[in-house]
């Protein structure tokens, strides 16, 4: 079973407005509410591909109930830990361009963390855990702690996080990490402008323990680096409508075909990420399948 962990989920309230006028009354042309959060996004894309998963994390109040009910309606299992505060609401304003207003989440306690650790301890080596997003305030080393917990039990994990939250887990051999170019530059402390420079920087993370690295480059596609393979995957052509969840969709696509060839995993990764970018919400199975035949996996040597 795949388990996704979202420490700070949200109800994403999308509001379409023709033109936003600050200090005036504005009326929406359309609204929608979604269960949000990076790990939850991964579970939603996996569900679209008929790959079961269980969403873990913290939820509270009537917004927390909304998330659990929404996932249940979509056939996605969840086992959230109840917290005292209310799950946050994030507002996404669409006015021709995207503006996000993200709220702070509820306070998380040591008791909440202990319950999550107990859930992970019960997993088996046949399971796979996906960590994605921020950690609760005051728990900066939480990813490192949980990565060690899984490593000691021979449970594979994927992590999509920034900076030290990511690098602290490398010693425990994450199955997949997915930095973008800006994040990789932050990790290595230098500007990366050419394919060769980015590949070299990614290889340094292999030396630190990562098993597979998917370096996303936005509209330019992605680079894949492992001990055995190095590929470039251009993005298919399309109109960008939604950047929220595209990276999470990319992770889900790659994980969804775990056990297949790396080329197959990469095709699904880029198809899922691009399909979400071209959609108003996360991609549907139909959106993804339309793009699959348009994805070309190339040897990095072809583009250097």
212-223 confidence digits (pLDDT tens): 999 999 888 999
CATH topology of domain 175-304: 3.40.1190
> Using one digit for the tens of pLDDT, what is the confidence trace for 254-269?
999 999 999 999 999 9
Task: Using alpha carbons, list the distances in angstroms from residue 41 to 51, 53, 134.
Answer: 13, 11, 14
Residue 302, pLDDT > 70, answer no
The Cα–Cα gap between 119 and 55 comes to 12
The mean pLDDT value for 7-11 works out to 93
Instruction: Return d(Cα 155, Cα 165) in angstroms, integer.
Output: 19
193 vs 155, more confident: 155
7-34 in b/e form (b: 16+ CB < 10 A) is: bbbbbbbbbebeeeeeeeeeeeeeeeeb
What is the reported pLDDT for 62? 93
SS3 assignment, position 35: strand
Identical fold, 1-21+28-172 and 175-304: yes
- The bridge status of strand 230-233 relative to strand 298-299 is antiparallel
On whether the CB atoms of residues 10 and 89 are closer than 8 A, the answer is yes
* 214 closest CA partner among 288, 278, 154, 268: 268
Quote the mean pLDDT of the chain.
93
- Tell me which range, 14-23, 231-240, 264-273, is most confidently predicted by mean pLDDT: 264-273
pLDDT score recorded for residue 280: 79
Query: What is the C-alpha to C-alpha distance for residues 248 and 43, in angstroms, rounded to an integer?
Result: 9
Q: Tell me what the mean pLDDT of segment 106-135 comes to.
A: 95
Copy the structure tokens of residue 58: 């913290």
Domain boundaries, the chain: 1-21+28-172, 175-304
pLDDT at res. 105: 87
Token digits of residue 274 = 């691009």
Do 42 and 245 meet the contact criterion of CB atoms below 8 Å apart?
no
pLDDT-based confidence at 151, cuts 50/70/90?
very high
Higher pLDDT, 246 or 96: 246
pLDDT at 272: 97
CATH of 1-21+28-172, one of 1.10.287.130, 3.40.1190.20, 3.40.50.720, 2.40.50.1020: 3.40.1190.20
- Would you say 274 and 287 are in contact if contact means Cβ atoms under 8 Å apart? no
Q: Report the distance separating Cα 249 and Cα 269, nearest Å.
A: 7
Residue in 12, 30, 127, 248 annotated catalytic: 248
Percentage of the chain exceeding pLDDT 90: 80
Span 179-214, pLDDT tens digits: 999 999 999 888 888 999 999 999 999 999 999 999
Question: Among this protein's residues, is 248 annotated catalytic?
Answer: yes
């Amino acid at each position: 079973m795949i388990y996704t962990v979202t420490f700070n989920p949200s109800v994403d309230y999308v509001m379409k407005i023709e033109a936003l006028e600050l200090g005036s009354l504005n009326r929406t042309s359309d609204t929608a509410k979604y269960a949000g959060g990076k790990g939850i996004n991964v579970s939603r894309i996996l569900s679209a591909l008929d790959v079961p998963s269980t969403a873990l994390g913290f939820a509270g109040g009537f917004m927390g109930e909304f998330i659990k009910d929404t996932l249940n309606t979509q056939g996605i299992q969840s086992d959230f830990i109840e917290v005292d505060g209310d799950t946050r609401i994030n507002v996404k304003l669409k006015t021709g361009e995207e503006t996000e207003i993200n709220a702070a989440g509820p306070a998380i306690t040591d008791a909440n963390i202990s319950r999550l650790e107990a859930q992970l301890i019960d997993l088996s080596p046949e399971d796979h855990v996906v960590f994605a997003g921020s950690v609760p305030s005051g728990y900066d080393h939480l990813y490192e702690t949980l990565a060690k917990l899984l490593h000691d039990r021979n449970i594979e994990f994927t992590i999509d996080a920034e900076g030290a939250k990511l690098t602290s887990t490398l010693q425990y051999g994450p199955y997949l990490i997915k930095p973008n170019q800006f994040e990789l530059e932050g990790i290595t402390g230098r500007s990366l402008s050419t394919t060769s420079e980015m590949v070299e920087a990614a290889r340094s993370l292999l030396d630190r323990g990562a098993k597979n690295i998917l370096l996303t480059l936005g509209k330019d596609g992605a680079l894949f680096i492992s001990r055995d393979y190095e590929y470039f995957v251009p993005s298919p052509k399309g109109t960008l409508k939604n950047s929220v969840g595209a990276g999470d969709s990319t992770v889900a696509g790659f994980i969804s075909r775990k056990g297949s060839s790396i080329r197959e995993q990469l095709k699904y990764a880029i198809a899922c990420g691009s399909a979400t970018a071209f959609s108003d919400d996360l991609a549907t199975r139909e959106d993804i399948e339309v793009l699959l035949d348009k994805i070309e996996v190339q040897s990095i040597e072809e583009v250097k």
